[in-house]
Amino acid sequence: MKEYRQGTFSRPPGATEILLVRHGESRAATKEAPFPLVDGHGDPELRENGHAQAARVGERLKRLPIAAVYVTNLRRTAQTAAPLCAHLNQTPIVEADLREVFLGEWEGGLMRIMAAENHPLMAQARAEQRWDVIPGAESNAALTARLIPALRRIAGRHPDALVVAVAHGGVIGHILAHATGAEPFAFAGAANASISHIVMTPERIIVRRFNDAAHLEGLDG
């Protein structure tokens, strides 16, 4: 009797698997000490527990056949990637277009403060699922226009391979929403140092995993 077992996923020929790692927790925002800016984007460093989260990421991924590790031009991603890169003896590659959503007049940590204080524009941004309700912030269309080509560039350099890209919560959420056709904020709120998993093919982006934080179990905040 011929049997037909359930199949398991295998990476399509020529495709690239990308593990999207959200950076570890960065330092708290305060009105008295706004984050420094890099090209207009807030650039806080990791707080102590963020470094501990980064170490857990390194331990979780160090045995995988990772061809390259990508970071953005914001230091919290490089700090998060550092333990993994040390395990792999690799130097991270900067892909600046994977940087966080640009928040316009609410950069430097102000968005966190406005969100905590229930500013009406923050409520409107959530309701309408678009960042550009915030004055000067990036639109969903502009975000797609810089993120998807960045992913395509990475995939083009690493066919038939696995890579890691340490990025940002807003960016990871947008990529997964775009890939699945979900509402723009459907994947908002990935945990710090969590792992999401996509597969880049020439035709589409396949989502395999979102917000995997099993490696953070028992880690105090």
The pLDDT tens digits of the residues spanning 105-141 come to: 999 999 999 999 999 999 999 999 999 999 999 999 9
Domains in the chain, number: 1
Flag whether pLDDT at 22 surpasses 70: yes
Residue 71 is assigned to a structural domain of this protein: yes
pTM of the model: 0.96
Residue 73 is assigned to a structural domain of this protein: yes
Give dist(CA 59, CA 113) in Å, integer.
33
Question: What is the structure's pLDDT at 220?
Answer: 74
Q: What's the chain's Rg over C-alpha atoms?
A: 18
Residue 84 is assigned to a structural domain of this protein: yes
The residue to which tokens 């953070």 are assigned: 216
Question: What is the structure's pLDDT at 221?
Answer: 65
Question: For 49-62, what is the mean pLDDT?
Answer: 98
Question: What is the structure's pLDDT at 67?
Answer: 98
Give dist(CA 112, CA 24) in Å, integer.
16
Residue type, position 97, single letter = D
CATH number for the domain including 201?
Answer: 3.40.50.1240
CB neighbour burial string for 42-75, b if at least 16 within 10 angstroms, e if fewer: bbbebbebbbbbbbbbbebbeeeebbbbbbbbbb
Residue 157 is assigned to a structural domain of this protein: yes
Residue 5 is assigned to a structural domain of this protein: no
Residue 77 is assigned to a structural domain of this protein: yes
Question: What is the structure's pLDDT at 79?
Answer: 98
Query: What domain range includes position 130?
Result: 16-213
Residue 1 is assigned to a structural domain of this protein: no
Residue 218 is assigned to a structural domain of this protein: no
